[in-house]
């Protein structure tokens, strides 16, 4: 029965179809479960792992850098610009805003939504009887250790399948009161003294076949997707429409003053650099707060259905 729009008491801008929503939820859940199978996290204490080459990058590199826009509504968005060099509506927005001096609170928002770098490495957990390749997503402090080892001539073959090294990852989780006591936990990496093969008793070809068949392409894992420009634009517009309210809530955040100072400085720098926003963003993303990392990473796999 057709109804006149004036008679309908609308609770939202669109009327969702409950069946369709459930279907989509289930589909999303399935996708998330599937993706989670490929995620590795250290357990508390000692973990023994072997990082392997990632075969789907331009360079056969074991350390993959992925740029995300976090905090843009109910989902994290992979940045097309910094990941694959395509146009990104969120970066366009930030760039446009930064072409003139912006007020502090606006700069706070821009720093929250700018593209942030995350690191992933494919690895095999030595504790698993039946080895599978999974991805470890880790923060800057872990990246720094891996990067230092891979520059060291003695360790530079560390990720190689034939003469690489296992790594002992000693992990202490953050305390429950981390925000108060400042104990954000720690992750220490120590490569094994001896070079070993990825699998003993296997031929080079067999190891190669294993890697070929078992190292997934991150972009094929469902949630690690570069969305179309228009799709990101829609997500971003919806987020910006509701931003006034959420910003008021977050206004009291104690991080504000720090962010503001940094923001001011970056704006000054921006003026000097002209259009070179890339250097700003890269410098800033490099120093992302590691306490946010776990949450950010979890957010990648959240459906966002609370909103
Ligand atoms: Zn972007």
Q: What distance in angstroms lies between residue 174's CA and the mean position of ligand 1's atoms? A: 30
Q: How far is the CA of 281 from the centre of ligand 1 (A)?
A: 10
CA 160 to centroid of ligand 1, rounded, Å: 33
Residues with CB under 5 Å of ion ligand 1 are 79, 81, 88, 90-91, 115
pTM for this entry? 0.64
Report the C-alpha gap between 146 and 247 in whole angstroms. 37
Task: Calculate mean pLDDT across residues 15-21.
Answer: 77
Q: Taking a C-beta distance cutoff of 8 angstroms, is the pair 284, 266 a contact?
A: yes
> pLDDT tens digits for 206-237?
999 999 999 988 777 765 778 999 999 999 99
Contacts of 231 (CB under 8 A, 6+ apart): none
Mean pLDDT for 248-275 is: 37
Quote the ligand 1 centre to 231 CA distance (angstroms): 13
Query: Ligand 1 centre from 115 Cα, in Å?
Result: 5
Question: Which 8-state DSSP code applies to residue 215?
Answer: -
Beta pairing class for 39-40 and 134-138 = parallel
- For 65-74, 118-127, 290-299, which range has the lowest pLDDT when averaged over its residues? 290-299
- Candidates 73, 79, 70, 13; CA nearest to 240 is 73
**What pLDDT was estimated at residue 28?**
74
Helix (H) or strand (E) holding 45: strand 45-51
- Mean residue pLDDT of the chain comes to 76
Ligand 1 center to residue 56 CA distance, Å?
22
| Centroid of chain to Cα 113 | 13
Residue 254: phi and psi, rounded to 5, are: -70, -15
Q: Residue 14 — very low, low, confident or very high, per pLDDT cuts 50/70/90?
A: low
Give me the domains of the chain, ranges plus CATH numbers.
39-249 (3.90.198.10)
């Amino acid at each position: 029965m057709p109804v006149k729009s004036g008679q309908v008491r609308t609770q939202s801008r669109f009327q969702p179809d409950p069946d369709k929503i459930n279907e989509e939820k289930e589909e999303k859940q399935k996708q998330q479960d599937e993706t989670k199978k490929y995620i590795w996290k250290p357990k508390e204490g000692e973990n023994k792992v072997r990082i392997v080459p990632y075969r789907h990058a331009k360079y056969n590199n074991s350390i993959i850098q992925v740029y995300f826009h976090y905090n843009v509504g109910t989902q994290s968005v992979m940045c097309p610009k910094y990941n694959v060099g395509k146009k990104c509506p969120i970066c366009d927005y930030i760039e446009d805003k930064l072409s003139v001096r912006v007020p502090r609170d606006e700069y706070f928002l821009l720093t929250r939504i700018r593209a942030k770098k995350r690191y992933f490495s494919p690895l095999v957990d030595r504790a698993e009887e039946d080895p599978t390749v999974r991805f470890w997503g880790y923060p800057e402090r872990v990246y720094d250790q891996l990067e230092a080892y891979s520059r060291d001539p003695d360790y530079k073959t560390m990720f190689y399948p034939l003469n690489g090294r296992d790594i002992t990852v000693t992990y202490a989780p953050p305390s429950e009161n981390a925000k108060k006591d400042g104990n954000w936990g720690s992750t220490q990496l120590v490569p094994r003294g001896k070079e070993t093969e990825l699998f003993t008793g296997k031929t080079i070809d067999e190891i190669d076949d294993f890697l070929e068949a078992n190292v997934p392409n991150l972009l094929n894992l469902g949630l690690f997707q570069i969305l179309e420009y228009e799709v990101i634009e829609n997500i971003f517009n919806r987020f910006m429409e509701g931003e006034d309210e959420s910003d008021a809530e977050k206004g009291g955040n104690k991080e504000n003053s720090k962010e503001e100072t940094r923001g001011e400085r970056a704006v000054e720098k921006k003026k000097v650099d002209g259009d070179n926003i890339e250097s700003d963003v890269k410098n800033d993303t490099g120093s992302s707060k590691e306490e946010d990392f776990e949450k950010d990473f979890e957010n990648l796999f959240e459906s966002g259905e609370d909103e």
